[in-house]
Amino acid sequence: MAADPAAAPRQPTDSTNHGLRVVVAWLILSAIATPLVAIYVGPLIPPGNASVQAQGQVFTNQVMVSLLTPVLCLMAVFFGYGLLRFRVRRSEAVLDGPPLRNDPRVQILWIVITSAMVLFLAGFGTYELLKDGSGGGQGPNPIALPAGHKSAFQVQVIGQQWQFTYRYPSLGGMESNQLVLPANTLVALHVTSLDVVHSFWAIELGAKADANPGVDNVAYVETKGPTVFHVRCAELCGLWHGYMFNNGRVVDSAQFSSWSAQEQRIFASIKHYVNRDAPFAHIYLPDPARRAG
Amino acid sequence: MTEAAAVRPSPPLWRRLLGFNVLTGVVLGIGGWYVGWFGAHAVVGPSLDYFGDIDYNELSVYLAYLGGVIGFLVGMGFLNYPLARLRGYPPSLREKEEAGWTRYFSLCTDHKVVGIQYLWGIGLFFFIGGLNAMLIRTELLSPHRQVFPAGTYLTLVGMHGTMMMGMMTSGILGPFANYLVPIMIGARRMAFPRIEALTFWLLMAAGAILTTSIFFGGFPTGWTGYAPLANQANPGLDNYVLFFALVGVSMGLLGLNMIATILTMRAPGLTWTRLPIFVWGVLSTAVLMVLAAPVLIATLGMVALDRTAQTSFFLPAAGGSNYLYQNLFWMFGHPEVYVLALPGFAIVLEILPVFARKPLWGYRLAVAGLLGVSLLSWFVWQHHLFVSGINGDLRPFYMLSTELISIPTGFTFLCGMMTLWRGQIRFTVPMLFCLAWFFNFLVGGLSGVFLSDVSSDVTTHGSFFSMAHFHYTIMGGLVFTFFAAIYYWVPKMTGWQLNERLGRIHFWTMFLFFNSTFAPLFAIGFLGQPRRVVTYPSGLQFLNDWVSISAFCLGISMLVFLFNLVWSLAFVRRPAPANPWASRSIEFQLPSPVPVHNFDRIPVFSGDPYGYGEGPVPSLVPAGSPAGRD
Amino acid sequence: MRVGVKLLLVCVAVAGAGVIIGFYASNLTTLAGSPAYSVPVQNSNGHKVVNLEIQTVAAIGPKLSRNPDWVSYLIHTSRGWKRETVWNLPANATVHVTIFNFDGASGLRNPYFGRPQGMVGNSILVDGKPTDAVDPDDASHTFAVPALGLILAIPGVADDAKNQCGFAPCPMSNAHRTIKFTFHTTTPGHYRWQCFVPCAAGWIFGFGGPMQTIGYMDGFLNVSA
């Protein structure tokens, strides 16, 4: 009777401690790679330093990538060593390996280490989030309130198909096409929409908040020095979603005053119509049936 | 008379063409479509349009396609058995199981035929979705030149995503679970063979509905179909709604069938701890399918009502809420992506022992991992909504639950890695795809860790970073294992071998260009390119061009696979041995292709199929059974 | 089956697939788009000047569209009024725009867009009178090129005006408003323009159908050197 190909004889076991080799190689590689990644790669991860929240995100990314580097190193060492060492040449006969089904110590070690990492990441993430809100939209009742939020500079971001406009309640309820923010100021962005769901994303400032119709989505951003930043819509909103962008600026107080004076002059002629039809409010619910006949 | 002898000789070709099959299905489907279309126009008229005449009667689109699907199913012959039973005919389980190629184009109750039908059907729609992806990348070659008008581009994006998500949901369960689960548990059929065939033909009808959406103006919402944009869309969105609703029905029934089969039809001796890990994966996926599909169908029903009956479930200005849609959709959507990922885990763990010649390490831990992922997937869905304005108190909880899901996922990694450890590793083509899974899912999973952290997610949500994440997990995870399963089981299913050299070329080109396509997307996302945009900052053009060219090469690698398929199965036709991989799994102890009745006698199991190095394969035929008895 | 027959079948299948894919891709490049129209350029003292004449209508009519009820922009070309919304303009040029509006008012959703901006003098001429604010209730359409900062609301024909236009193209004898303004093009680029009034009757928020289709209420200014 021909030999059953599925029940091959066993390869004789060898007594090298492969596990020790892998662990040692992994520890050495991690010890080298992790500091390099933490110091050189981490700070390069966007969004950059244009706002306090963006800086916080960079720090969070830095910590996460440093924590994940040993995981990558383990995979690299394990597979590199294992696939090379335990491979079989094509021409050799098919032999079975050792019938290793379980090792509770390995299981427990793995579960403990992965759980610890996960819990650390969740705790660290929560701490970083609650510290300053990280620039994300928190809905009408934000809980991650940065210091000084009570006197934050209020800017309303109105998303509509397909442009963002900005209202400044402290500047006479003025509305503008341009987003200009004063430097070194905590800004409270109130993001809302007039029709479908958009998402306001100030890329370099690290701020993103969905614009939902009938909802006031609050995000905090603390600006730093003067800079130019880009605003893009990050939620598919129809035909011109890809073109729904503009540039924003953070400027020092003198420039901000002159800009706001100029915008208010432009706004003056439409001001009473705006106050008649859509006085400043945290949400607007335009009639959905509004259409031409 | 045993079931083995119930296979009738095949009738002549003209007789087979005359009966209920795809031809009658299509004819009656088209007829049903017109009945629905004109019926709705005659009875309802344009009075259900929103606020005025918009030239389209949405209700007629729905009723037309529903009429089409019903006509198609009647034409396929799904009504025949219920009507026969109503008229008093006795129960029968056999339809079209006679030999002949026409059974692949009709309602056939042989689970192996349904598996092969699924393989070709899903393959077809996979390539259609892939074609749309190539067109998307063509548009993104330049931020200034518009190859496709902006609205058409959005339809392409939506069609690509929707086609892939809808079809690949059943990507592994459809072809491989249908074919293999009865064999692996020692049964001759699935619990509900006709429902099994129904799930396949429903999916094909759904695919036809989605591809015709361009004739109704396409849809601008992407695969997520967010309201209220969905309420504004052209009637092409109704195609999307119907497609996904039918996919939901197909998915739910497929899961139901799998659960019923696995729970009730296991052969003697097959205890839960001896079940192949693939079957455990199918079971955990099936539970998700059955529970998630109804949520999808209900949500889409509400979208349809909003668009036709002037309800306002999702319109804040009229009393509804767009958050309702988002939460309902993701309540389905998150388990859905685990429906996509879990079969991949199961396939890797099933194939690794064969090519490492070692038992599956940590069997119970692997099962716990699969079930753990399945359970935890219900508790994470709001991580898609971190910056959308949900209650801030919820976000740390969902961050924790999302991070927790990486623990059971890690079990799969551990069991797979320890199975390889000290093994006798053979780098066959299925093994290569499984090893690539480790790399791809690792990258995908680690990027998921970034996305699950709310602070980091503020920048990466809705950007190409999240696109890269899910392409690495879904394409790198599911599609690679899909090909692993094809190379591993097609010799068994068809009886012909696939060319190994072409398989290796396919693998290496696919792996190389897949990574080349999707790795830069992480950077592109961080640098500020949102999803689904037709233009981007000029500074990102180099990266986008790199990605587009790599994507074209990835498409070409798929053509290598197609060439291999046609070359090996149609021209070379080298017969495959019963056990080309020297596997201990039960399907490889049967002839290739597996005969209609699966087993001469129902086997009795005395162990799991992973006893490499523990002795000879136990005989699965009960000793002392007289011939002719089951 | 003989090898030759199989080979033939495979070739036929591949050719068929290629043809279908070719049809699909090429049809998609024109679906819901618009051909580009090069606006004639005049040279005045070495400076490029362009005259753009466009009209907006309440219903495009069956001759110009498969959707006769859709609102639309039209441009005056040498071949008459055409429903083309992609216009080629020169860079660093002066563009004099005249808009004839034959449609009634439906109101702005965001009243801020009643403030003309981005054109010379930040004001427009409405029936000959200079205006720097359009009553949002009077607005019928808008013309906006967000990347250039250009936005203006177009006042509508009174509801009780006599001789209102039916289907496009509308002759000047029908009731209409005339809006004139001038703006400058600068850097070459691909600038999209859109209408902001929610005026697509029948769709929720008035933003479906023609409002989301290039060739009706959306288009491009292709500015090239």
Of B367, B395, B459, which to mutate for an interface test with A (greatest number of A Cβ within 10 Å)?
A: B459
C91 Cβ under 8 Å from any chain A Cβ: no
Q: What count of other Cβ atoms lies within 10 Å of the Cβ of residue B523? A: 17
Q: Which residue has the higher pLDDT, C27 or B405?
A: B405
Within 45-64 of B, beta carbons closer than 8 Å to C belong to: 49-55
Q: Looking at this protein, which amino acid is placed at residue C202?
A: G
pLDDT on residue A289:
62
* Per-residue exposure over B85-107, b if at least 16 CB sit within 10 Å of its own CB, e if not: eeeeeeeeebbbbbeeebbebbb
User: What's residue B307's pLDDT?
Assistant: 85
What confidence score (pLDDT) does residue C192 get? Answer: 93
Q: Establish if A148 touches chain C: CB-CB under 8 angstroms.
A: no
Chain B's closest residue to C198, CA to CA, is B232
Predicted confidence (pLDDT) at residue A116 exceeds the cutoff of 80: yes
Tally of CB atoms within 10 A around A20: 9
What is the rounded CA–CA span in Å between residue A274 and residue A267?
9
- Of all residues in chain C, the one with the smallest CA distance to B142 is C190
Neighbouring chains of C at 3+ CB pairs under 8 Å are A, B
pLDDT tens-digit readout, A224-250: 999 999 999 999 999 999 999 999 999
Select the residue of C106, C146, C205 nearest A292 (Cβ to Cβ).
C106
CA of A16 vs chain B CAs: smallest distance (Å) = 10
In 3D space, the residue among A134, A227, A151 whose CA is nearest the CA of residue A188 turns out to be: A151
Q: Do B526 and A60 touch (CB under 8 A)?
A: no
Q: Of B51, B54, B232, which is closest to C207 when you measure between CB atoms?
A: B232
Kindly list the averaged pLDDT for each block of 10 residues, start to end, along chain B of length 630. Answer: 50 74 91 90 58 62 93 92 90 72 88 95 95 95 89 94 95 95 94 94 96 91 92 90 97 97 94 95 97 97 88 87 95 96 96 94 96 96 94 92 95 95 93 97 95 94 95 96 97 94 96 97 93 92 96 96 94 92 91 88 89 81 50
Residues on chain B touching A141 (C-beta within 8 angstroms): 391-392
Distance CA B458, CA B455 (A): 5
**Do A136 and B455 make contact, defined as CB atoms within 8 angstroms?**
yes
Give the gap in angstroms from C-alpha B484 to the nearest C-alpha of chain A.
18
Q: Find the CB nearest A60 among B221, B455, B463.
A: B455
By CA distance, what is B51's nearest residue in C? C202
For residue A240, list chain C residues with Cβ-Cβ distance below 8 A: 192, 194, 218
CB C151 within 8 A of CB C181: no
Residues from chain A contacting residue B232 (CB–CB below 8 Å): 196, 238
Size of interface A-C (CB pairs under 8 A): 105
C164 touches chain A (CB under 8 A): no
Say whether C203 and B149 touch across the interface (CB within 8 A): no
pLDDT attached to residue B607? 87
Q: Which of A116-125, B427-436, C181-190, C198-207 has the lowest mean pLDDT?
A: C198-207
**CB distance from B428 to chain A under 8 Å?**
no
> When comparing pLDDT for B95 and A82, which is higher?
A82
Give me the pLDDT at residue B10, please.
Answer: 66
The torsion of the CA quartet B8, B10, B15, B17, rounded to 10 degrees, works out to: 110
Distance CA C55, CA B612 (A): 80
| Residue the block writes with tokens 């808009």 | C99
Confidence of residue A288 (pLDDT cuts 50, 70, 90): low
Residue B148 contacts C where some CB pair is shorter than 8 Å: yes
Report pLDDT for A64.
95
Query: Does C3 contact chain B (CB < 8 Å)?
Result: yes
Q: Which residue of B has its CA nearest to A218?
A: B389
Please report the pLDDT score of residue A133 as a whole number.
87
Taking 90 as the threshold, does the pLDDT of residue C118 lie above it? Answer: yes
Q: Chain B contact for C212, CB < 8 A?
A: yes
Pairing assessment for the beta strands C36-38 and C41-44 based on DSSP bridges: unpaired
B152 and C6 in contact by Cβ < 8 A? no
φ, ψ dihedrals at C2, nearest 5°: -75, 155
Chain segment C35-71, per-residue pLDDT in tens = 889 999 988 888 889 999 999 998 888 888 888 888 8
In contact, B197 and B114? CB cutoff 8 Å: yes
Encoded tokens for C44: 């005045």
Select from C29, C205, C214 the Cβ nearest to the Cβ of B151: C214
Residues of A in contact with B357 (CB under 8 A): 8, 94-97
Select from C201, C213, C220 the Cβ nearest to the Cβ of B54. C201
Is residue A100 very low, low, confident or very high in pLDDT (cuts 50, 70, 90)? confident
CB atoms within 10 A of CB A266: 17
Please, what sign has the CA dihedral across residues C26, C31, C33, C34?
Answer: positive
Taking Cα atoms as reference points, which of B313, B284, B299 lies closest to residue B247? Answer: B299
Chains contacting A with at least 3 CB pairs below 8 Å? B, C
- Cα atoms in the Cβ-side hemisphere of radius 13 Å centred on A264: 12
Q: Give the gap in angstroms from C-alpha A72 to the nearest C-alpha of chain B.
A: 8
Chain A residues with CB-CB distance to C213 below 8 A: 239
Nearest in space to B198 (alpha carbons), one of B100, B108, B119, B302: B108
